[in-house]
Structure 1
Amino acid sequence: MFDTAQELLDKIRLGEDNFLELKEVTFSEKKIKGPHPDGLADEMAAFANARGGVIVLGVDDHREIVGIPPDRLDDVERYVVEIARDRITPPIYPIVERLELPASDGSLRPVIRTEIPRSLFVHRSPGGYLHRVGSSRREMEPEYLARLFQQRSQSRIIRFDEQVVPEAELAELDNALVDRFRTRQTQDDRTTLLQKLAMARFDEREILRPTVAGLLMGSRNPQHHLPHAMIQAVAYRGSEVAEHVGDVSYQLDARDIKGPLDAQVVGACNFLLRNQKVAASKDVGRKDIPQYDMTAAFEALVNAVAHRDYSMSGARIRLRMFSNRLELYSPGALPNTMTVDSLPFRQASRNEAITSLLAKCPVPDDINGLNTSRATMMDRRGEGVAIIMERSEQLSGRRPVYEMLDDSELRLTIFAANPQGNPE
């Protein structure tokens, strides 16, 4: 939006509208006096709740390029980013760019161009729930707000994982990752294939863009647009976090596991392999006995990335390893009419595009201890939970436990094996 300096300058000369806001930056000694942080937060949230827009800092109400002192550019950029992060719920991640524009006297003056893409979420700022109407921001009426929540939630006719990600580009979808979903019979070109796989859709401006599922399975860095779509893994020293309050060494290992979903599963499995203990049996002939069955862990992680609620901004999958168990937390309530008790017997998915892609994605060959006859990450037959329960119980003697926490997070607890042997 207004990508070149000339396009931006031409737009400034026409004045503010649905997509442009102009702000002069003023200072009081070392502090930024204006724009007020609450007002700037309101402007950003209003754009995100509408169709996106650009805020130019360094232009006054008369459309004059007054600029920003070069030695204050760092301060102003930090000011913008902190407001977007701390004063808006859920946070906004603006695209901040420095450039020079000609003032009326012909001199070049620095300004900061802040682009706020149309969001997948509904944002609240200090002024409430606002949206952009013409050159002003307005509070949304209750009926309009309810419709917007519905449009941008999983209850939309278009499932959340099939929604377009604003400002994402097709070039972000890696050819090698996309080609994994081709079969010998596939004759479609890239554009057609992406649409058939629900990895790309046309937005309201008829621009073909990646969907949530497309980025999660076809981008090397989906976290650029979906920063919460990751696995947060921590291995603890004891059986409880509280046992080690104040002890800096209570965490044995910690990782934020990113990348496409299948790579996250591999990364989490390798994290588990690296941190679990292995015992040697006392029977005739040495036999290594791990704490966890890797096939069960693999199934649990695949289910987590496939079925979590990606519309919950800021929520991450959490893998917590303790000395006697592992806990896997997946954001979101159970889909449809599923219950914790029915998990081993029924199947339902909120993310049809993601599960379809995982059912076409080859099983990785670099996970030690993985024993599966499947060729792909998912089999769509709903056998994953049964595998988790049965294989884990065979190893540890205890059946895994599923629990729903506050109707917003599913926790799976798998108990560690405690073989009669010598831990290594």
Structure 2
Amino acid sequence: MYAAEVDQTLTLPLAEALEGLVRLPEGQWFERKSGRIDPKDLAVPLVALANAEGGCVVVGLHDGAVDGVPGARVNALRQAAQDFTRPVVRARVEELELAGDRRVLLLRVDPGEAVHETAKGDVYLRVGDESRRLGFAQRQELEFDRGSAPFDGTRARGNADELDPVQVGAYQLAIGSSSPEAMLRARGLLTRDGDPTVAAYLLFAASPQMLFPNAHVRVLRYTDVDRGTGSRLTLDDDADVRCEGSIPQQIDHAAREIERLLPRRRALTGSGRFEASGIVPRDAWLEGLVNAVLHRSYSMVGDHVRVEIFPDRVEISSPGRFPGIVNPDRPLDISRYARNPRIARVCSDLGIAQELGEGIRRMFDEMRSRGLTDPIYTQTHSGVRLVLSSLDTLPREAVDQLSRGARHVLDVLRAAGRPLGTGQVEAAAGITRPTAIRHLQKLQELGIVVWEGQSPRDPRAVWRIS
């Protein structure tokens, strides 16, 4: 579900709006609750949304029907955030009046500037359509990541006059807001003093690079599987493109350049014909690109998003490590957590992105449907790199014979995209030399890798994927 659907539904006449809210699926930014809910129980979704990207809770809808909130209970529910959340969740309340002194309440929750908990001391996080209670370790990691307010909610040094009225107007139309200012405030894109936030500037300024020079995407293509250096640099002529402008413009421009520069090969398709297609499925690299731009660290001013295209793979690098509650070794288990909650929600409104976990699953599905190896995430001291390889996946019988360590060594070779010496494998995998040799020999035994050298003591000997 796109975040804008709630706002679009509310522009309809009351009866149609209520019917639409009953039908809308619950998701990352939307939840329904009965009018009979206890105020302390209402604190759970409020805390969960505040700890994620914000959203809307509608109270007075239950089991596919409108039950409404009795007038005598309205104030207690309006004060649920004040009475049962710590620190107090910021939520704006709207009322839709029904017949018979009953109402439907809409609580619009802003992303929190710290970790919020219920009065009982429980911490929840919105993940898809669930308000998921966090264990001690997850809570601790969330507190580390939320040590300060998300950067995209801080004040930008620019002013509102620098926002592009065409882009602002298009977004206002997308969510059905009554005015540009109301739209910006509804998505937390203005500070309390009415100044644009970092998110507003990156999303709607005509040239956000004036304040954030590294807020762009660089697309490069190499002629060899290794980048090379100096005179051996393999960067293709006229294949180094910087994609600037607002975030939606960057993504659109970068996607067109990747499509143009991506190597193509002829393969038998579902139509029964041999047709040219990119070495990596479009949906896979597009998801990787969108995630890199939306979830990168914009407070790290020394780097930008890079998409590097090689003859056998695509590498996408972005500044900022995964948040602590994410395990990069198990990407399919990643819980929803946005470093830039305002940017993520606006891009969902515009149809650029949906839910992080869903996108990663789709990326894996696309690669597997083409018989290619799974996407590989690696984390450096300051960023994240995604490798989408055009190598065919291993047969199941070969995979079953590999230990976890051997699979990790194979991923190291795949991510490198070039032959590596034993010492390089040892360093990249973070294991001892005897362990590296044992795993490499097992891969060699199965015919997965090949050793190339003049003698057992050849210092230039390397291992490559067969």
CA distance in 1, matches of 2:177, 2:314: 44
Q: Is 1:349 matched with 2:328? A: no
| Cα gap change, 1:418 to 1:266, in 2 (>3 Å) | farther
Aligned to 2:184: 194
Letter of the structure 1 residue corresponding to residue 264 of structure 2: V
Aligned residue number for residue 162 of structure 1: 153
Kindly indicate whether the alpha-carbon contact (under 8 Å) linking 2:227 and 2:234 is maintained by their aligned counterparts in 1: no
Distance 1:219 1:299 in 2: 24
| SS, match of residue 241 in structure 2 | strand
With over 3 angstroms needed to count, the CA separation of the structure-2 counterparts of 1:417 and 1:289, relative to structure 1, is farther
Query: In the TM superposition, what is the alpha-carbon distance from 1:289 to its structure 2 partner?
Result: 2.7
How far apart, in 2, do the equivalents of 1:289 and 1:323 lie?
13
Q: What TM-score, normalized by structure 1, do the two folds share?
A: 0.54
What secondary structure is seen at the aligned counterpart in 2 of 1:256?
A: strand
- Look up the SS of the partner of 2:327 in the other structure: coil
C-alpha distance 222-380 of structure 1, shift in aligned 2 (>3 A): same
SS of equivalent residue, structure 1 residue 287: strand
Counterpart for residue 348 of structure 2? 359
SS in 2 for 1:200: coil
Deviations 1:297-334 (A, max 9, x none): 11111111111111111121111111111111111111
1:105-125 Cα distance to aligned partner (Å, 9 max, x none): xxxxxxxxxxxxxxxxxxxxx
Give 1:396 deviation, angstroms: 5.0
> 1:291·1:418 contact (CA, 8 Å) conserved in 2?
no
Distance in 1, Cα, partners of 2:376 & 2:300: 24
Map residues 17-416 of structure 1 onto 2, 5 A cutoff.
Answer: 155=146, 157-166=148-157, 168-182=158-172, 186-202=176-192, 206=193, 208-242=194-228, 245-247=230-232, 250-252=235-237, 253-281=239-267, 285-345=273-333, 346-361=335-350, 376-380=351-355, 382-395=357-370, 397-406=372-381, 408-416=382-390
Change beyond 3 A, Cα 1:175–1:286: same
Which amino acid counterpart does residue 294 of structure 1 have in structure 2?
R
Q: Separation in 2 of the partners of 1:385 and 1:159?
A: 23
Secondary structure at 1:299's aligned position in 2?
A: helix
Distance, in Å, in 1 between the alignment partners of 2:338 and 2:286 is 18
CA–CA distance in structure 2, aligned partners of residues 272 and 229 of structure 1: 18
CA distance in 2, matches of 1:184, 1:354: 15
Query: What is the deviation of 1:277?
Result: 2.0
What's the offset of the Cα at 1:237?
0.8
Change (3 A) 1:381 1:307: closer
Contact kept? 2:226, 2:234, Cα under 8 Å: no
- Conserved 8 A contact 2:344-2:353: yes
Q: Cα distance, 1:342 vs. partner?
A: 3.6
What secondary structure is seen at the aligned counterpart in 1 of 2:349? coil
Q: Is the 8 A contact 2:163 2:204 kept in 1?
A: yes
Decide whether the 8 Å contact of 2:255 with 2:286 is kept in 1.
yes
- Taking structure 1 as reference, are residues 328 and 282 closer, same or farther at Cα in structure 2, changes over 3 Å only? closer
Matching residue's letter, 2:202: L
Q: Tell whether the 8 Å contact from 1:319 to 1:326 is kept in structure 2 after alignment.
A: yes
Identity %: 22
| Contact in 2 for aligned 1:279/1:290 (Cα 8 Å) | yes
CA shift for structure 1 position 199: 1.9
Q: CA deviation at 1:228?
A: 1.1
Counterpart for residue 9 of structure 2? none
Partners in 2 of 1:394 and 1:295 — Cα distance? 12
| Greater fraction helix | 2
Name the aligned partner's letter for residue 392 of structure 1.
M
Match for residue 68 of structure 2? none
Please give the alpha-carbon distance, in whole angstroms, between the structure 2 residues aligned to 1:280 and 1:379: 31
Q: Report the 3-state secondary structure (helix = DSSP H, G, I; strand = E; otherwise coil) of the residue aligned with 2:166.
A: helix
Equivalent residues of 1:237, 1:322 under 8 A apart: yes
**Counterparts of 2:252 and 2:371 in 1: how far apart (Å)?**
23
Alpha-carbon deviations, 1:41-69, whole Å to 9, x = none?
xxxxxxxxxxxxxxxxxxxxxxxxxxxxx
